Amino acid sequence: MSMADQTASKPSFRLSMLIYDTRYRSMTIQVIALILFMLAVAWLLSNAASNLAALGKPLSFSFLSQPAGYDINQTLIEYNNQMSHGRAALVGILNTLLVAFLGCVLATILGVTIGVLRLSNNWIVSRLMTIYIETFRNVPVLLWILLTMAVLIESLPKIALFRGENPINTMSFGNSVAFTNAGTFIPKPIFLSGSTPVVVIFFLSLVGIWAFGRWAHKRQDETGVVLPTFSIKLAIFFLPSIAAFYILGQPITLEYPVMARFRFEGGFVIRNSLIALWLALSFYTAAFIAEAVRAGIQAVSHGQTEAAAALGIRPRRTMQLIVLPQALRVIIPPMISQYLNLTKNSSLAIAVGYMDITGTLGGITLNQTGREMESLVILMACYLSISITVSLFMNWYNESIKMKER
């Protein structure tokens, strides 16, 4: 059959093929479903806007520029009660990100450690880790947050104990840190003239640690030679910054907390609400991460460890170089969900008085301005943006560690 005959034998496209032809039917259904969904969302938004306008509250975000009129006890940037609601919301977002970041880091360290120890041959260690996991994951996280806050308030000394003729006797770490029931007071760095090069060198050291780690891993894959990466990374982390610090005349100093008549002055305070929220979320999430780690390790064939033992590789190196890299392909997907859960669970911060985005924009700002629709829309958009960012980063990492076939 000639090319012209084949072309002539193909049926021409008809609109009915969008429904009856299996090549186009699925796409047609998806397009129709998307259009209906968008129309439903548009109707809901239009209906909400009409109802709000009828109540004399048309949609407007101008309230973000009005003075907030309330204080926030834990801030990462400058803020006072005369600043705008938008500034207060920004402080809340940064506080949420701070808890999420610290929580994910500590939960990962604890979860991996506990997950590995639960598989220990030591019966006592294994049972203790099992008790930890079952205890934490079967009690609501809100109760853990409240309990941790209560422990900090009741167990730490009152500020009154720091007063007297020699108030620094009860301070720790060379009279520089004070643990109290009102918070932990620590030294605050003061950046003087010439401190910028030191900060730049410090961040370049972090980049150098990352680059050296990649190079050492690649070299090990090619030659089998294992370098003492930990000690070298430790040297890269400290030596350049310390050398620059002294060469440039010590341009960074510390402001220590000092007990005044009624409270500490100077330094930086970490509120117990932040510490309680951070620890409770971390220990709670670590229990779930530990189970994911245990499942990932058990998914690796036992023959891998037997082969490593036959080659004379020590158990610690076997876990580090053989088992965990393969287990990560099983561990990462559920770990992403736990990171997202930790971030969303941080909205419980209002229970202990920590002012995150829910406490500022979704709490005081909403009540003061009466702009519940606008506040909730911004609040949902913030959590959605944070969650999507975490998910995209972890999915990228998950793709990068997948087994690549030749």
Per-residue pLDDT tens over the stretch 150-166: 998 888 887 766 665 44
Beta strand 183-186 pairing with 178-180? antiparallel
* Predicted local confidence at residue 108, as pLDDT: 92
C-alpha–C-alpha distance, residues 286 and 390, integer Å? 17
* Predicted local confidence at residue 19, as pLDDT: 73
Q: How are strands ordered across the β-sheet holding 183-186?
A: 178-180, 183-186, 268-270
* Predicted local confidence at residue 128, as pLDDT: 92
Residue with tokens 């053989």: 322
**Degrees (nearest 5) of the Cα angle 63, 64, 69?**
85
Integer angstrom CA distances of residue 93 from 96, 115, 390? 5, 32, 15
Enclosing H/E stretch for 11: none
* Predicted local confidence at residue 111, as pLDDT: 92
* Predicted local confidence at residue 170, as pLDDT: 61
Cβ neighbours of residue 319 closer than 8 Å, sequence gap 6 or more: 116
The shares of helix, strand and coil residues in the chain, as percent rounded to the nearest 5, are 70, 5, 25
* Predicted local confidence at residue 162, as pLDDT: 65
Tens-place pLDDT, residues 262-277: 777 778 888 899 999 9
Contact between 402 and 329 under an 8 Å Cβ cutoff? The reply is yes
* Predicted local confidence at residue 168, as pLDDT: 47
Cβ neighbours of residue 59 closer than 8 Å, sequence gap 6 or more: 49, 52, 373, 374
The parts of the chain modelled with pLDDT lower than 70 are 1-11, 13, 15, 18, 20, 160-174, 401-406
Tens-place pLDDT, residues 141-152: 999 999 999 998
What is the number of other CB atoms lying within 10 angstroms of the CB of residue 133? 21
* Predicted local confidence at residue 164, as pLDDT: 56
Ordered structural domains, the chain, with CATH: 16-59 (no CATH), 85-137+272-400 (1.10.3720.10)
